[in-house]
Amino acid sequence: EQLQAQQQQELATLAQARTAHDQLDGLQRAAREATAQAAAAAAIAPAQARQLEAMAARNAADQRLNTLNAALNHLRRRQIEGMAARLAAGLEADSPCPVCGATAHPQPALPTADAVDDGQIQAVAQQLAAAHTDVRAAGVAVAQAEAALQGVLEKAGAGCEAVAAALAARTASEALAAASAQAARLTALEQGTKAREQQGQDLQQAIEAARTAMALESRAQQEASGRAAKLVAVVAQELGTGLDPATVLAAFTPLEAALRRLIGAAADHARAVARQQQAAQRLTAERAASPFPTATEATAALVDATRRAHWAQRIEAYEKQVIELQGALAAPELADLPEQRPDTAAALEAETLADQQRTTAVERHSEARGAQAEIQRLTQLHRERAAGLAQQRTHAELLSAVAYRCQGKAAPYISLQRWVLSAYLADICRYANQRLTLMTSGRYQLRLTDEGGHGGRQAGLGLRVLDAYTGEEREVSSLSGGETFQASLALALGVADTVQAHAGGVPLEALFIDEGFGSLDPDNLQLAMDELDRLREGGRMIGLISHVGALRERIRGGIEVIAGDRGSTLRVGGGV
């Protein structure tokens, strides 16, 4: 029983070793996968950090691009605002102005201290182009960081943590080490098991031989005892009672023969006993060398002859097959085959599954390659369209800024038309103030203002009055009637002077003034007439239409309209 238990334990250990050897490939593959998954899980945090860094760099590049865009738009707006000074810089004496055509340039616009030239705009434009390149490079870096992060996430698996992956890798490595240790004992266990089986067979043969010898000796002893009993019976029968010697002697011959036969049987018995003792000694020695403590246990472990013959035939066939297979395996092309025969059924099933997985993987790979090509095409198209869109957007923003500025929808909320009119009005005010200062004895001057802005209908065309008495500006509506007429007359004269200046020096030879003198007091009327006399002395013809009688003293010639019952009549003459 102890030997059987030991054999069972050795067989179980052998089975475990064979199982471990069969599982080596799977455990090695699992260990490699677990190690790769642990490495991927450990690389997730650095990949995420690189992605955040790339996104921060892209955001910074976007912010710098927006800042440069705003700066370029601001410079362009300032350049448009200083366009008059740039045009004035190109004016030459006695050459026509490219805007109005005048050859006289009495007050060309002067450049401001913060005027913008093309070099500044070109420098910012170059920085903007570099910023666009940085934005595209930052976008590529973000895409690469995201792709790298996605790669390690796919390798690590969903929900995988670095600690858990490292623990799984260590567990897989320990399982592989344990299986490798068990598999390394496989050859030694198989040799030990084979030696144990051979030792059992030898012991069984010795037990069978001893048992046969004991049976023969016992049979010979029984035969000799039978023969001796028969001889004793014969002697007793032959002697009887009252036998005489002659009779005894006569009967001694068969007795002698029986005794001789008894002696021979006794000798045979002694020899059988000796052989039995020798067999018992041999049995004891061989049993002591065997794993069986008693002869009863050795007998219990014996199998019948038929089964032993069947085993012998199988062993012989197996040894013959081993020799044939060893000869076949000795071929050079089979030198790399493993020692143990692989599990072909499991391998076939694994091959079928692997082929199905390969087919699915090839299909997915083809789909992925197609999707990758399409994504690359769309990405390239998106980049090209994005670059074109950025240029068009920049151009559109510039055009929109110019349009809004020309329409008065952007600061200072003065349309181009009103801006041009405002420029003319500024010239008109400059000439009108020369007249108004004389007519008001230096009290009033007109000031151009952009009040009513933010797109108002009068933005850039507003007028206010500077009162020298108070030092403050006020609305023109606060002037009295006479003061309003003086301001209007000064503006009208300023219009005439401005038209003459902008028309290339072509003079306005006639000026007609209809009414308005009745609102002036004598002093202001005198000042107004003095101004008109100066115009007239300059070569202009001044026509006045008025009902004020005080003007007759200052008018050298005129036409008087006289109302009558039959209609109005005209009288032409001096001092009307």
* Residue 454 pLDDT level (bands cut at 50, 70, 90): very low
Average pLDDT over residues 292-314: 75
Residue 210 lies in a domain: no
Let me know: does 44 contact 80? Beta carbons within 8 Å: no
Q: Which residue has the higher pLDDT, 14 or 129?
A: 129
Let me know: does 44 contact 81? Beta carbons within 8 Å: no
Q: Is residue 393 pLDDT above 80, yes or no?
A: yes
Q: Which residue has the higher pLDDT, 467 or 228?
A: 467
Could you say which of 407, 431, 446 is where a domain stops? Answer: 407
Burial class for 116, CB neighbours closer than 10 Å (0-12, 13-18, 19+) = buried
Could you say which of 384, 407, 430 is where a domain stops? Answer: 407
The predicted pLDDT at position 381 comes to 92
Q: Which residue has the higher pLDDT, 342 or 373?
A: 373
Residue 297 lies in a domain: yes
Residue 468 sits in the same domain as residue 543: yes
CA–CA gap between residue 114 and residue 82 (Å, rounded): 9
* Residue 466, amino acid: L
Q: Is residue 113 pLDDT above 70, yes or no?
A: no
Percent of the chain with pLDDT over 70: 72
Q: Which residue has the higher pLDDT, 363 or 556?
A: 363
The predicted pLDDT at position 483 comes to 83
Q: Is residue 553 pLDDT above 90, yes or no?
A: no
**Residues 487-504: tens digit of each pLDDT:** 888 888 888 888 877 766
Torsion of CA 434, 438, 440, 446, to 10 degrees: 0
Burial class for 372, CB neighbours closer than 10 Å (0-12, 13-18, 19+) = exposed
Residue 328 lies in a domain: no
Burial 181-218 (b: 16+ CB within 10 A, else e): ebbebbeebeeeeeebeeebeebbebbeebeebbeebe
Residue 469 sits in the same domain as residue 534: yes
**Residues 432-452: tens digit of each pLDDT:** 888 888 888 888 899 888 765
Residue 334 lies in a domain: no
Residue 178 sits in the same domain as residue 240: no
Q: Is residue 303 pLDDT above 70, yes or no?
A: no
Residue 454 sits in the same domain as residue 392: no
Nearest to 14 by CA among 196, 182, 195, 177: 182
The predicted pLDDT at position 568 comes to 82
Q: Which residue has the higher pLDDT, 358 or 292?
A: 358
CA–CA gap between residue 14 and residue 86 (Å, rounded): 102
Residue 51 lies in a domain: yes
- Strands (DSSP E) found in 282-374: none
Nearest to 65 by CA among 382, 381, 397: 397
Average pLDDT over residues 99-108: 63
Average pLDDT over residues 284-310: 73
- Widest CA span in the chain: 234
Residue 112 sits in the same domain as residue 170: yes
Q: Residue 443 maps to which CATH number? A: 3.40.50.300
The predicted pLDDT at position 379 comes to 92
Residue 559 lies in a domain: yes
Could you say which of 407, 428, 457 is where a domain stops? Answer: 407
* Residue 329 pLDDT level (bands cut at 50, 70, 90): low
Residue 348 sits in the same domain as residue 484: no
Q: Residue 163 maps to which CATH number? A: 1.10.287
Residue 321 lies in a domain: no
Q: Is residue 524 pLDDT above 70, yes or no?
A: yes
Q: Is residue 461 pLDDT above 70, yes or no?
A: yes
**Residues 42-92: tens digit of each pLDDT:** 777 788 888 888 888 888 888 888 888 888 778 777 766 666 666 666 667
Q: Is residue 521 pLDDT above 50, yes or no?
A: yes
* Residue 210 pLDDT level (bands cut at 50, 70, 90): confident
Let me know: does 262 contact 231? Beta carbons within 8 Å: yes
Residue 400 sits in the same domain as residue 427: no
Nearest to 512 by CA among 445, 558, 554, 567: 558
Residue 318 lies in a domain: no
Instruction: Report the range of poorest mean pLDDT among 261-270, 317-326, 439-448, 549-558.
Output: 549-558
The predicted pLDDT at position 453 comes to 44
Tell me the average pLDDT of the chain.
76
Residue 517 sits in the same domain as residue 548: yes
Residue 378 sits in the same domain as residue 229: no
Q: Is residue 557 pLDDT above 70, yes or no?
A: yes
The predicted pLDDT at position 239 comes to 57
Q: Does pTM surpass 0.85?
A: no
Per DSSP, the three-state class of 61 is: helix
Residue 439 sits in the same domain as residue 394: no
Residue 513 sits in the same domain as residue 569: yes
Burial class for 291, CB neighbours closer than 10 Å (0-12, 13-18, 19+) = middle
Q: Is residue 402 pLDDT above 80, yes or no?
A: yes
Range of the domain at 236: 221-302
Q: Which residue has the higher pLDDT, 387 or 243?
A: 387
* Residue 180 pLDDT level (bands cut at 50, 70, 90): confident
Q: Is residue 99 pLDDT above 60, yes or no?
A: no
Residue 272 sits in the same domain as residue 381: no
Total number of domains constituting the chain: 4
